[in-house]
Structure 1
Amino acid sequence: MTLNRREMLAMVAALAAAGPARAQGLPRLLCLGDSLTAGYGLPRDQGLVPQLSQYLQAAGQPAQLINAGISGDTTYGGRVRIGLSIRRNAPDAVIVELGGNDMLRKFDPLKSEQNLDAILSEARAGDRPVLLVGIHAPAGQADWRLAWTQIWARLANRHGALLLQDLYAPLADLPPDQRGPFLQGDGVHPSALGVQRIVQHLGPAAAQLVAQTA
């Protein structure tokens, strides 16, 4: 069969509208986050997304993970780009890992919660499974830290999302003098070894998320 130019263009448009191809029929997980998700300062195969992909494969819940992490991103940035990310990637589920940069910049927890609320509303559209990943607040005013601590469970309950309360717990639980090998030189971002430790903590919740896509 020979197609004319108009028919060829129509076919290309239809294929584009169909969305990204699915790798071997695996569920697609959109990983929306900041530098930790992006893999800041690490070799490409040692970041959170590739290590989590390996974990899920070994756990019998393989998935195609889409890295939508941007270093330095905030909850507001995530709110701006979540819709386009979903339209472009047509994910079956979404992991949301944002808030750390809001805390570092001492943003108002209420405003950050509003941003996360909008992100989760978009991510959960069509009853899409979502995993919300919380982060413990750094040292600061007690009321401010408490406000951040309470955000994660409240949002997860509101949207029926899975929750990991504190992504950094495996590192925060270590005595300060033992954290060196698990952090990069800046003392903030995890090293490849630190990511490995974090993935062991995150992995079971991510595997549960994949199971919900069935």
Structure 2
Amino acid sequence: MYSLVLALILGLMPVAAMAKSIVVLGDSISAGYGIDVAQGWVNLLQKKFNQQHSDYVISNESISGDTSAGGLARINQLLARHKPVIVMIELGANDGLRGLSPQEMKSNLSEIIQRCRKAGAKVMLLGMKIPPNYGKRYIAMFYNIYPQLSAELDVPLVPFILENVALNPAMMQADGLHPNALGQPLITEKVWPYLQSLLPKAHD
């Protein structure tokens, strides 16, 4: 019996070893705030991989309320634990909602990107926007951080992952900030083509 169990374990080891890790480093938008996590866009993205018999496994390391500084504080541990081939960064919205410095946010995100690359991971940046009541100047400074980082560090950017969701009340929760279950598939479809463009490179 012992030999049989050992043989089964050893037989599964090559399959586990071949699995490629993708980490989502985000906040409440990716953590599935206010909904069943199984309905969240990250889980739906994993289902897309499963349907295609892919060997990619997504680890959702998103925390509601997290900021770019929080992500920076966590990234080394996550890289060591998961050894990802791709890291999807969905952070910054809480920096904006708290009125924090856009330049500090940029610095934090830049450092996260560089640490991911140093660890051998490809990086994808997921852009966010904040409500209009924060003033045009601050909103412009905030949102411009994403394309600036994309251009300066040559990082693929999903311009705004809540496009076609944020302004549709039927797809948003009562707080007007978080998408409900109906909005999650649209986020998945928004992100998917950008992620697909990185998959061949992840095999390098």
Provide the secondary structure at the position in 1 that maps to 2:47. Answer: helix
Asked whether 1:75 is paired with 2:68, we answer: yes
Inter-partner Cα distance in structure 2 for 1:211 and 1:57: 17
1:159 deviation in Å?
A: 2.1
Shift of 1:37: 1.4
> Is residue 183 from structure 1 mapped to residue 176 from structure 2 by the alignment?
no
Counterpart of 1:145 in 2: which secondary structure? helix
Q: Is the 1:96–1:130 contact (alpha carbons within 8 Å) kept by the matching residues of 2? A: yes
Cα pair distance change 1:191/1:125, threshold 3 Å: same
Q: 1:144 aligns with which of 127, 138, 141?
A: 138
Residue 162 of structure 2: which of 156, 168, 176 is its match?
A: 168
Residue in 2 that maps onto 1:12: none
Question: Residue 95 of structure 1 aligns to a residue in which SS?
Answer: strand
Instruction: Give a deviation string over 1:96-142, Cα, whole Å, max 9, x none.
Output: 00011111111111111111111111111154211011112321222
What CA distance in whole angstroms lies between the structure 2 residues aligned with 1:153 and 1:194?
24
Aligned to 1:8: none
SS in 2 for 1:169: coil
In 1, distance between residues paired with 2:52 and 2:150?
Answer: 24
Secondary structure class of the residue paired with 2:187: helix
1:192 maps to amino acid:
A
For the 8 Å contact 1:103–1:138, the answer to whether it is kept is no
Identity in percent: 31
1:88 to 81, 91, 97: 81
Cα distance change on mapping 1:213 and 1:79 into 2, 3 Å = same
Instruction: Specify the alignment match of 2:35 in structure 1.
Output: 42
Residue 11 (structure 1) aligns with: none
Tell me the distance in 2 between the aligned counterparts of 1:188 and 1:23.
38
In structure 1, runs of 5+ residues without a counterpart are 1-20
Cα distance between partner residues in 1 of 2:151 and 2:84: 22
Give the TM-score, by structure 2 length.
0.84
Aligned-pair distance for 1:58?
A: 4.5
2:199 is aligned to 210
Quick one: which amino acid aligns to residue 180 of structure 2? S
Quote the residue 2:20 is aligned against: 27
1-structure distance, mates of 2:140, 2:54 = 35
CA contact (8 A) 2:68 2:109 kept: yes
Q: Which amino acid aligns with 1:101?
A: N
| Unmatched segments (≥5 aa) in structure 2 | 1-13
Q: Which amino acid aligns with 1:171?
A: V
For residues 142-166 of structure 1, what are the alpha-carbon distances to aligned partners after superposition, in whole Å with 9 as ceiling and x for unaligned?
A: 2211112221121122222211111
Contact map agreement 1:22 1:28 (CA 8 A) in 2? no
CA apart distance, 1:49 = 1.3
List per-residue Cα deviations over 1:38-90 (Å, max 9, x = no partner).
11122131112111112344467652000100000000100111111101111
SS at match of 1:170: coil
Q: Distance in 2 between matches of 1:79 and 1:65?
A: 19
Cα pair 1:53 1:62 within 8 Å, conserved? no
What is the count of residue pairs matched by the alignment?
A: 190
Show the counterpart of 2:117: 124
CA distance in 1, matches of 2:188, 2:73: 27
